[in-house]
A and B are shown apart, each in its own frame.
Chain A
Amino acid sequence: MKTVVSCKHLNKIYRQGQIEVKALTDINLDVIAGDFICLSGPSGSGKSTLLNMIGGLDSPTSGEIIVDGQHVDKMSKSELAELRLHKIGFVFQAYNLIPVLTAKENVEMVMQMQGDSKQYRNEHSLAILKEVGLEGLENRKPAELSGGQQQRVAVARAIVDKPCLVLADEPTANLDSKNADNLLQMMREMGEQHQMTFIVSTHDPMVMERARRLIKLHDGKIIENNKQH
């Protein structure tokens, strides 16, 4: 099977004045296409750092990251932007949506940047919002949606242009358990339906259960890497 993400000897050290903090130490990781990976560990264990680094939002101190055959650690800012635009979808814990745009516009924005036609955008965004269960709420602004609904819009946006990789950083942290469960269920379904790879960071046991593969981080090191289902 195709490898979508490959990390080799990845290190990240943050420097704050005199103090050095090792955020990641010698991470080696391969993710194959279509996987649904859960990245778990206590806060400060390096989950977000690793996700940001795979997404090219942050750069490693040493080591290499290959996403879909491209060396992320060697790319320029605008190459990284291109990569994110076409190949990676993001879902964050909160503040996922542009507040001045409606749900539909938020979803359409990425397609618009890729130059898709208006008709295509329209059809596609409506379809995907329906898929995530937001039919009828397309024209609401983020502030008019519940937390769960907002996260669904974020997922819809992340997957609308079929990226090969979706990175979700604690997507359920602000949701109650029922909403969290629904969101996870939906993400899993989407992943299978659209053949997309998901990496989800969490410390929510329920999320871990849903994962095909569970990777545990502690103090910036991988301490467990198990296939589950």
Chain B
Amino acid sequence: MSHITSLLMSLAWRNLWRNKRRTLVILFAIVLGVWAMIFTAAFMRGMSSQILSDTINNLTGHIQIHSKQYLDDPVIDHRFSLIDDQLFESLNNVLIKQTSSRVRVPAVIVSERESTGLVMVGINPDNENGMSFLQSSIVEGRYLKDENDSGIIIGRKLAERLETRLGKRVVIMSQDKDNKIVDRGFRIVGIFDTQMEALETGYIFMGLQTSEDLLNIKNEVSEVSILLHDMNQLDELVADLQQQNPHLDVQGWAQLEPMSRVIIELYDSFHLVWHLIVFLAMGFGIVNTLLMSVFERTREFGLFQSLGLKPGFIMGQVWVESTLLLMLGLFLGNIIAWWSVLATGEGIDVSAFAQGMEMANLSNIIPFVIITKDLVLANSVVIILGMLTSIYPAWRASRLVPADAITRV
């Protein structure tokens, strides 16, 4: 059959360029469409990966372990002990890359002039490292030395609001394990700056041991946050940990931050919808252009038939022609999309919409991210649907009656 294939290919390629202008017009439509698909997919993928990494960095991690009632009512009462052989053993899992234990309770911060409510987080600075945004966001002063560090770290916005600054003392008030109000003065040793206002005004950080001392607890924490080597093993590990620690509550990030999950899922489902819309927009043009070239060549198809070529060959010819056109469009579209993604560098800066972005759990720079799955989806939508739609013009071509086709002037 190869002799027929090569004949088909060379006929199709040359026919494609018989009417250069027309082919270029429709090719442009296809390239534009493919570009739009991949570029938009890269943007949406960038948004969702940004949301995902922000979600994980903003103290969530991949998995968190809490006491049963903590998520409903995040207070000191719902803490759990770290001196627990079963827990210790189950955290010694090869799938786990890193863990961090935290005390995380509501508190009030009082400066010389203002006061406000927020969440106080006690951490082990070494364990926290690489797990959350904190260390890399310190812009003034220093990070916590160790879990006994007597200083605290607060956000830049909070410092402005409290009219305080690095080196000043503030009072932290909270409830201890017996629900008594406890308070103590702390020196601000570091100031952090993130793009998220809610983080900057809603959290302060101190050493884990320091926070336990303040709340009169020992070796007890509010949560353990876990980072995995491979996110794909998340569900498996959640199930294992939950089974091994039935008295605790084990949740993945998607359950902890349903909003992020929903947005990511929405983007995901929008991919295909958008691809289909773009394809439809160019599909009409593809069919129309192919039909034009088929009806122009009526005589020629009659001639093919009189030469003894079967209708299947004629159908194949038009079909190969449109497939070549589609592949050319895909090739150029992919290249231009890659190029334009590269040209955007780090991503696009949408800080003009900073507060709006924050409402959508997003930071101010959206990177463009191209992943294989999205490329495959966009390209297969175009090639598969494109080949399907060109069946109609190809079929029309093969159905032309030879005697009519030849005698038509």
Whether the Cβ atoms of B310 and A78 lie closer than 8 Å is yes
Kindly identify, within residues 6 to 41 of chain B, every residue whose CB is under 8 Å from any CB belonging to chain A.
Answer: 7, 11, 14-15, 18
What secondary structure prevails in chain B residues at the interface with A? helix
How far apart sit A113 and B309, CA to CA, in the bound complex (Å)? Answer: 8
Whether B238 is near chain A, meaning CB under 8 Å from some CB there, is: no
Which of B4, B7, B406: most chain A Cβ within 10 A? B406
Report chain A residues within 8 Å CB of B7.
109, 112-113
A86-B14 contact given A48-B407, A95-B303, A112-B3, CB 8 Å threshold: no
Whether A110 is near chain B, meaning CB under 8 Å from some CB there, is: yes
How far apart sit A143 and B403, CA to CA, in the bound complex (Å)? Answer: 24
Report chain A residues within 8 Å CB of B3.
112-113, 115
Whether B305 is near chain A, meaning CB under 8 Å from some CB there, is: yes
A81-B403 contact given A98-B11, A98-B300, A100-B18, CB 8 Å threshold: no
Size range of the chain A interface in the assembly: 20 to 34
Report chain A residues within 8 Å CB of B303.
90, 92, 95-98
Kindly identify, within residues 290 to 335 of chain B, every residue whose CB is under 8 Å from any CB belonging to chain A.
Answer: 299-300, 302-313
Kindly identify, within residues 80 to 119 of chain A, every residue whose CB is under 8 Å from any CB belonging to chain B.
Answer: 81-86, 88, 90, 92, 95-101, 109-110, 112-113, 115
How far apart sit A55 and B406, CA to CA, in the bound complex (Å)? Answer: 13
Whether B402 is near chain A, meaning CB under 8 Å from some CB there, is: yes
How far apart sit A75 and B14, CA to CA, in the bound complex (Å)? Answer: 33
Whether A58 is near chain B, meaning CB under 8 Å from some CB there, is: yes
How far apart sit A82 and B310, CA to CA, in the bound complex (Å)? Answer: 8
Partner of B307, one of A48, A100, A110: A110
Closest residue of chain B to A91 (Cβ to Cβ) is B306
Q: How far is the CB of A48 from chain B (nearest CB, A)?
A: 7
Whether the Cβ atoms of B308 and A81 lie closer than 8 Å is yes
Whether the Cβ atoms of B11 and A84 lie closer than 8 Å is no
Whether the Cβ atoms of B306 and A55 lie closer than 8 Å is yes
Whether the Cβ atoms of A85 and B306 lie closer than 8 Å is no
Partner of B11, one of A88, A90, A92, A100: A100
How far apart sit A101 and B18, CA to CA, in the bound complex (Å)? Answer: 11
Whether A52 is near chain B, meaning CB under 8 Å from some CB there, is: yes
Smallest CB-CB A-B distances: 9 pairs: A85-B308, A84-B308, A100-B14, A58-B403, A57-B402, A81-B310, A90-B306, A52-B403, A57-B403
Whether the Cβ atoms of B15 and A100 lie closer than 8 Å is yes
Instruction: Beyond A88-B308, A92-B306, A115-B3, list 19 extra A-B contacts (CB 8 Å).
Output: A49-B403, A52-B406, A57-B302, A57-B306, A58-B402, A78-B310, A85-B307, A90-B303, A90-B306, A95-B300, A95-B303, A96-B303, A98-B11, A99-B300, A101-B14, A109-B307, A112-B4, A113-B7, A113-B308
Whether the Cβ atoms of B406 and A57 lie closer than 8 Å is yes
Whether A227 is near chain B, meaning CB under 8 Å from some CB there, is: no
Whether the Cβ atoms of A92 and B308 lie closer than 8 Å is no
Report chain B residues within 8 Å CB of A112.
3-4, 7
How far apart sit A77 and B402, CA to CA, in the bound complex (Å)? Answer: 11
How far apart sit A108 and B305, CA to CA, in the bound complex (Å)? Answer: 16
Interface string of B148-183 (1 = CB under 8 A from A): 000000000000000000000000000000000000
Whether the Cβ atoms of A82 and B18 lie closer than 8 Å is no
Report chain B residues within 8 Å CB of A83.
308
Report chain B residues within 8 Å CB of A88.
308
Whether the Cβ atoms of A99 and B18 lie closer than 8 Å is yes
Report chain A residues within 8 Å CB of B313.
113
